[in-house]
Structure 1
Amino acid sequence: MNEQRAWWKEAVVYQIYPKSFADSDGDGVGDLQGVIDRLDYVASLGVDVIWLNPVYESPQHDNGYDISDYRAIHEAYGTMEDWERLLEEVHAQDMKLIMDLVVNHTSTDHEWFQRSRRDEDGYREYYIWHEGEEPPNNWSSGFGGSAWEYDDEVGTQYLHLFDETQADLNWDDEAVREDVYEMMNWWLEKGIDGFRMDVINMVSKPEGLPDGDPDKDWVGIEQFTNGPDAVEYLGEMAEATYDDYEAMTVGECVNVDPETASDYVSAEGPMDMLFHFEHMSVDHGDRWLSPSEWELTDLKAVMSEWQTDLDGWNSLYLTNHDQPRIVSRFGDDGEYRRESAKLLGTLLFTLSGTPYVYQGQELGMTNYPWSSLDELDDLQSIGKVEAAIESGEIDEFEDVQQAVRDKSRDNARTPMQWDDGEHAGFTDGEPWLPVNSNYEEINVAAAEADPNSVLHYYRDLVELRTDHEVLVYGDYNLLLPDHESVWAYRMELDDDAVLVALNVDDTETSVTLDDAARTEELLCSNYDPPSETDAALTLRPYEARVYRLEEA
Structure 2
Amino acid sequence: MREQKKWWQNAVVYQIYPRSFQDSNGDGIGDLQGIIKRLDYLEELGIDAVWLSPVCRSPQDDNGYDISDYQDIDPVFGSLDDMEKLIREARKRNIRIMIDLVLNHSSDEHRWFQEAKKSKDNPYHDYYVWRDGEEGVLPNDMGSVFGGPAWEWVPELGQYYFHQFSVKQPDLNWENPKVRREIYDMILWWMDKGAGGFRLDVIDQIAKEPDRKITNNGPRLHEFIRELSRETFQKGDLITVGEAWGADIDRAKLYSNPDGSEFSMVFQFEHMMLDQEPGKEKWDSCPLPFVKLKQNLAKWQTELHGCGWNSLFWNNHDLPRIVSRWGNDKEYRTESAKMLATILHGMQGTPYIYQGEELGMTNVRFDHIDQYQDIEIRNMYRERLAKGYEEKEIMESIYAKGRDNARTPMQWDDTAHAGFTTGTPWMQVNPNYREINAEAARKDPDSIFHYYRKLICLRKENPIFAEGDFILLLEEDENIFAYVRSLADRELLVVANFTEQEIICTLPEEWKDGEVLIHNYKDGGKSEVLRPYESMMIEREK
Q: TM-score range by the shorter chain?
A: over 0.9
Structure 1 residue 129 displacement after superposition? 0.9
Q: Deviations over 1:281-333 (max 9, x none)?
A: 01111222211111211211111111111230101010011100110011000
Change (3 A) 1:156 1:397: farther
Change (3 A) 1:107 1:340: same
Structure 1 residue 476 displacement after superposition? 0.8
The one-letter amino acid of 1:380's match is E
Q: Deviations over 1:478-513 (max 9, x none)?
A: 000111110000001111110000001001111234
Q: Deviations over 1:240-287 (max 9, x none)?
A: 111111111100012111122112112244111010010110111122
Distance in 2 (alpha carbons) for counterparts of 1:453 and 1:72: 39
Alignment-derived partner of residue 282 in structure 1:
274
The one-letter amino acid of 2:106's match is T
SS in 2 for 1:75: coil
SS in 2 for 1:8: helix
The one-letter amino acid of 1:454's match is I
Distance in 1 (alpha carbons) for counterparts of 2:99 and 2:128: 24
Alignment-derived partner of residue 104 in structure 2:
104
The one-letter amino acid of 2:160's match is Q
Alignment-derived partner of residue 63 in structure 1:
63
SS in 2 for 1:546: strand
Distance in 1 (alpha carbons) for counterparts of 2:446 and 2:511: 28
Q: Deviations over 1:28-47 (max 9, x none)?
A: 00001100111100110011
Q: Is 1:400 aligned to residue 394 of structure 2?
A: yes
- Count of aligned residue pairs for this structure pair: 534
SS in 2 for 1:167: coil
Alpha carbons 2:446, 2:522 under 8 Å: kept: no
Alignment-derived partner of residue 372 in structure 1:
368
Q: How does 1:335-484 map to 2 (within 5 A)?
A: 335-390=331-386, 392=387, 394-395=388-389, 397-484=391-478
Alignment-derived partner of residue 216 in structure 1:
none
Structure 1 residue 20 displacement after superposition? 0.2
Alignment-derived partner of residue 44 in structure 1:
44
Distance in 2 (alpha carbons) for counterparts of 1:399 and 1:296: 25
Structure 1 residue 137 displacement after superposition? 2.4
SS in 2 for 1:382: helix
Alignment-derived partner of residue 76 in structure 1:
76
Alignment-derived partner of residue 168 in structure 2:
165
Q: Is 1:13 aligned to residue 16 of structure 2?
A: no
Q: Which segment drifts farther, 482-491 or 262-271?
A: 262-271
Alignment-derived partner of residue 272 in structure 1:
264
Structure 1 residue 165 displacement after superposition? 0.6
Change (3 A) 1:510 1:4: same
TM-score of the superposed pair, with normalisation by structure 1: 0.94
Distance in 2 (alpha carbons) for counterparts of 1:365 and 1:519: 35
Distance in 1 (alpha carbons) for counterparts of 2:473 and 2:389: 46
Q: Is 1:139 aligned to residue 131 of structure 2?
A: no
SS in 1 for 2:8: coil
Alpha carbons 1:516, 1:537 under 8 Å: kept: no
Alpha carbons 2:225, 2:262 under 8 Å: kept: yes
The one-letter amino acid of 1:277's match is F
Distance in 1 (alpha carbons) for counterparts of 2:509 and 2:350: 26
Distance in 1 (alpha carbons) for counterparts of 2:18 and 2:41: 15
Q: Which segment drifts farther, 438-447 or 512-521?
A: 512-521
The one-letter amino acid of 1:318's match is W
Distance in 1 (alpha carbons) for counterparts of 2:290 and 2:122: 55
Structure 1 residue runs of 5 or longer lacking an equivalent are 212-222
SS in 2 for 1:477: strand
The one-letter amino acid of 1:61's match is D
Structure 2 residue runs of 5 or longer lacking an equivalent are none
Alignment-derived partner of residue 501 in structure 2:
507
Alignment-derived partner of residue 212 in structure 2:
210
Structure 1 residue 375 displacement after superposition? 1.1
Distance in 1 (alpha carbons) for counterparts of 2:11 and 2:511: 32
Percent identity of equivalent pairs: 45
Q: Deviations over 1:366-402 (max 9, x none)?
A: 0000322211111111122222334x2x345333111
TM-score of the superposed pair, with normalisation by structure 2: 0.96
Q: Is 1:2 aligned to residue 14 of structure 2?
A: no
Alpha carbons 2:384, 2:394 under 8 Å: kept: no
Q: Deviations over 1:520-548 (max 9, x none)?
A: 2111100134544xxx8321100111000
Distance in 1 (alpha carbons) for counterparts of 2:78 and 2:21: 14
Q: Is 1:520 aligned to residue 531 of structure 2?
A: no
SS in 1 for 2:212: coil
Q: Is 1:194 aligned to residue 185 of structure 2?
A: no
Q: Deviations over 1:340-361 (max 9, x none)?
A: 0111111121100000001100
Distance in 2 (alpha carbons) for counterparts of 1:272 and 1:515: 39
Distance in 1 (alpha carbons) for counterparts of 2:33 and 2:509: 50
Q: Which segment drifts farther, 434-443 or 444-453?
A: 444-453
Distance in 1 (alpha carbons) for counterparts of 2:525 and 2:316: 36
Alpha carbons 1:170, 1:176 under 8 Å: kept: yes
Alignment-derived partner of residue 214 in structure 1:
none
SS in 2 for 1:169: coil
Distance in 2 (alpha carbons) for counterparts of 1:318 and 1:152: 44
Q: How does 1:232-311 map to 2 (within 5 A)?
A: 232-268=223-259, 269-285=261-277, 286-310=280-304, 311=307
Q: Which segment drifts farther, 505-514 or 413-422?
A: 505-514
The one-letter amino acid of 2:250's match is E
Change (3 A) 1:313 1:519: farther
Distance in 2 (alpha carbons) for counterparts of 1:354 and 1:531: 28
Distance in 2 (alpha carbons) for counterparts of 1:137 and 1:371: 39
Alignment-derived partner of residue 124 in structure 2:
123
Change (3 A) 1:371 1:155: farther
The one-letter amino acid of 2:404's match is D
